[in-house]
Structure 1
Amino acid sequence: MSTKTIGGRRGFLIALVVALLAALAVLAVTLGGGDPGTAQPPPAQPVAVTPQPQAAAGDAVAALPRSEPVSIDIPKIGAHSSLIGLGLNPDNTVQVPPVTTPLQAGWYTYAPTPGEAGPAVVLGHVDGNHQKGIFFRLKELAPGDRVAIARKDGTTATFEVTKVHQVPKKDFESEGVYDDTPGPELRLITCGGVFDRSAHNYVDNIVVYARLVQG
């Protein structure tokens, strides 16, 4: 399968999701479950984002300046991990955390950093290498739960979950997971649903949507 190049930031992010799923799947198939795929994104360029005020909505706050994340903490599900940067492999597939260390989470470095305007992206395995992954319990999150991401500049970006959605992989592109947003948001992504042993993949993805409420 190939991806069509679509103009603009929104189009790039939509194309990116296909590559993310393909890369996660290839590693999972090798070492304990996943979804095979061959899609590749176009070469990415870092997204330069100018901090913008967040539109007033409950206790949401203004966007933060760019600063790399260093760790993620989700108390409700006992998920705590450092964050490694994920770029592109030589074949233009998106890097993922090593499946041999499934408790390691990573952030996609060409998206906004957590706290900047736009959707930051953090990926983690549901399992791998016959072990539970960092996002094994991600589906248990609910609106109102908090996710804290420590940043290199010493600040902590705290996000509040707004939605948790189980998305069939065949419908993922139409969900708008990576659509641009006026304020700072976060997307947490892992595999989910039934494991199809004949196809060696999970049939769904779990996607957590969250917005910045403290920075």
Structure 2
Amino acid sequence: MPRTPSSLRRAALPLSACLLLAGCSAAGDDASGTSPRSGTSAAPGAGREAGTAESRTPAGSRSPAAVPVRVAVPSLGIDSELMRLGLNEDGTVEVPPAEKGMTAGWYTGGATPGEPGAAVIIGHNDTRFGKAVFHDLRKIAKGADIAVRNDRGAELHFKVTGTETVSKKAFPTRKVYGATSARTLRLITCDGAFDAQGHPVDNLIVYANRS
């Protein structure tokens, strides 16, 4: 995975490993979603490329979970391949590089879409190259369909239950990344006004459940 610019790597990692993040950009290609750092690091291996669904498969299971490879929101005309996103060396969440603004990414430290837990997909709103994959995400409606295809050819569908715009300084980490037995999906990008440095100050979070 290519290293992202330092301006993108600001998402904090609480001890609980419930991450916050953002995927967006404007003039500065900032995709950060900030919160107070706990001063601790993630659990060992949480950010390794191997820290995917395969490494989390319980011993004795027949096969590893399928890997998501594409996401689509038909009502908005969104259709994107999925790259894998982990953690940077400093414990912050990776985001897609600005030059791949039209490609969303699946955070491998969360759940696999369709499995119990919160699966998280991150995408830019804008980059210095122009509009990005989640530019129109704010237009998504409650009840809209989100389709995720995996590497086994299966297409999983999720229904939007709501959206939320939050300050990056008050990101609802546990609500987004916290443990749940439900099969949920979150799409995250940046939103809102810009600060003095030209960085969006908010995150847009789309919540969806398996339909």
- TM-score > 0.5 by shorter chain: yes
CA distance in 2, matches of 1:96, 1:209: 19
Other structure's SS at 2:153 match: coil
1:29 to partner: Cα distance? 7.0
Match of 2:206 among 205, 208, 211: 208
Q: What amino acid sits opposite 1:80 in the alignment?
A: D
Trace 1:2-41 onto structure 2 (pairs within 5 A).
5-6=14-15, 11-13=16-18, 16-17=19-20, 20-21=21-22, 24=23, 28=25, 31-33=28-30, 35=32, 41=41
- Is the 8 Å Cα contact of residues 126 and 191 (structure 1) preserved in structure 2? yes
C-alpha change, 1:174 and 1:3, in structure 2 (3 Å) is closer
Point out where structure 1 has 5 or more consecutive residues left out of the alignment: 51-64
C-alpha change, 1:156 and 1:4, in structure 2 (3 Å) is closer
C-alpha change, 1:153 and 1:2, in structure 2 (3 Å) is closer
Other structure's SS at 2:95 match: coil
Point out where structure 2 has 5 or more consecutive residues left out of the alignment: 1-9, 59-63
- Which residue number corresponds to residue 142 of structure 1? 141
Deviation sequence 1:140-174 (CA, Å, 0-9, x none): 11211000000012211100000111112222136
Alignment TM-score, normalising by the size of structure 1: 0.75
CA distance in 1, matches of 2:186, 2:29: 24
Alignment TM-score, normalising by the size of structure 2: 0.77
CA distance in 2, matches of 1:154, 1:36: 33
- Is the 8 Å Cα contact of residues 190 and 207 (structure 1) preserved in structure 2? yes
- Is the 8 Å Cα contact of residues 33 and 195 (structure 1) preserved in structure 2? no
What is the percent sequence identity of the aligned residues? 35
CA distance in 2, matches of 1:163, 1:117: 19
Q: Does 1:67 align with 2:66?
A: yes
C-alpha change, 1:187 and 1:69, in structure 2 (3 Å) is same
Coordinate RMSD, CA, aligned? 2.8
More helix by proportion, 1 or 2?
1
Q: What amino acid sits opposite 2:74 in the alignment?
A: P
- Is the 8 Å Cα contact of residues 34 and 200 (structure 1) preserved in structure 2? no
- Is the 8 Å Cα contact of residues 33 and 168 (structure 2) preserved in structure 1? no
The alignment covers a number of residue pairs equal to 186
